Chain A
């Protein structure tokens, strides 16, 4: 005997999904975010127009372009891959592997490409930041990547002018990054990496201090409580594989006083942006997948909790995502997270599994 039709109607009415209680607040917050982004894009557009006028009309041509490569335009020289160009600077030297470079008054300027700084004080200026090698044994690799200006990236990177990313890797010694978007310079140590976009503070990816030792928590205003665990992201991870180890990779660590569900809710609002980061990366690397662990410090500001610092914690093993551009995008997305105001600073270590079906 089949199910009565009138009972089906009643059962369907009972089973109607209900929107979560936070829906109205989330919608209003999204509308406010969109309004702010539009305002930023307008400002960025005006700045870009002003910069274009400056470059095309006002900026003087460089006096002494580097030798060894043909001049292509506006004093820039192109270094072809496979024909590196070594330049002695006022302090230290630079080896340009490829890209566009200009040397004026001992200051090295690069707009795109890749290279290496060697020696204490060796310095390169880029559209997004000044990079300086620190220490006599310093060896710092860098790469400037131009990203296409599609709509998604324009929103993700937040400012229209942020079409160039500077990636830094300290092989030996140290480095300092003076970025336009940061109040103080960022110092890097051996093994550290960093990513810089226009108008944004550098995002540092620190080398773990030792194998199997948890990274020290950033300074907190009050002593952190015992670590606890909660379920990980549900949306970026399509389905997390079970683990056989005690140290489950599927757990988020929370130190400090903020309800774990509140953290989950805050992270949940970011999932569309994080998905977008991953989908963008998949366009170039269809097989990309892996695990990213983000350590973030949440602090109270204007009556709500915001992420004050966030960094990628490198993972040992083969499942590390190892995609700096995706990690950068993910960290950018983190800056939009909002939580209830915590009682003191809270440090959260949150894993994301990025995986296609």
Chain B
């Protein structure tokens, strides 16, 4: 697919967007809230414009390369934004197959608390949490994207997780199976 994208095949690029849209969106949602739609779109437009220059044999994976573009766009937007909407991170709808309505309701409530707590984290902590937990990147890749040493990634991640756990309190003792 990547080769076809590099040759300008629109159907292949469509496949690429479909494959990576949720990972890019998750990072943008963590960093830019309601602007995530717009920034996800802009990320893929830039990916499309420069994919012929991406080196598959280079140090960065395709996912890491795209997330670097998304991360920079989010940073630029945050700097330039004069008109901005602050909304909580989007909550996913209820999914089929849940153990039961009451249990699922509790999970939704818990997720809402989690996302609210995440919205309150500093930007750099939100970024590492999103890149690690939602995009599945390794510490080394996160360090490259964030432009910080490996140790800083680890400490930011630890601080972020600690803040989230503190915000959730002892909820997990009763709800998480």
Contacts and interface: CB of A to CB of B under 8 A. Distances in A.
A261 interface: no
A282 B81 CA distance: 12
B7 interface: no
Contacts of A11: 110-111, 114, 168, 172, 176
A19 B21 contact: yes
Most buried by A among B17, B29, B92: B17
Nearest to A17: B29
A66 to B, nearest CB: 44
- Interface size range of chain B in the complex: 35 or more
B24 to A, nearest CB: 7
Contacts of A264: none
B94 to A, nearest CB: 11
Contact of A1 (B29, B48, B173, B176): B173
A122 interface: no
Contacts of A16: 22, 26, 92, 133-134
B41 A27 contact: yes
Contacts of B4: none
A154 to B, nearest CB: 17
A235 B34 contact: yes
Contacts of B90: 17-18
Contacts of A318: none
Interface string A1-36: 111110111111111111110011011101100100
B115 interface: yes
Given A30-B41, A238-B85, A14 B111 contact: yes
B41 A26 contact: yes
Contacts of A150: none
A275 interface: yes
Contacts, number: 137
Interface on chain A toward B: helix, strand, loop, or mixed SS? helix
A279 B83 contact: yes
Given A238-B85, A268-B37, A3 B10 contact: no
B21 A238 contact: no
Contacts of B129: 12
Interface in A263-288: 268, 271-272, 275, 278-279, 282
Contacts of A27: 17, 21, 40-41, 44-45
9 contacts: A2-B168, A4-B176, A11-B111, A14-B92, A17-B36, A24-B14, A30-B45, A282-B82, A357-B84
Interface of A: 1-5, 7-20, 23-24, 26-28, 30-31, 34, 234-236, 238, 268, 271-272, 275, 278-279, 282, 354-357
Given A19-B22, A23-B37, A238-B84, 13 more contacts: A3-B168, A4-B172, A8-B165, A8-B172, A12-B133, A15-B91, A17-B90, A23-B21, A27-B41, A30-B42, A34-B45, A279-B83, A357-B84
Interface of B: 10, 13-14, 17-18, 21-22, 24-26, 29-30, 34, 36-38, 40-42, 44-45, 48, 82-85, 89-92, 107, 110-111, 114-115, 129, 133-134, 161, 164-166, 168-173, 176
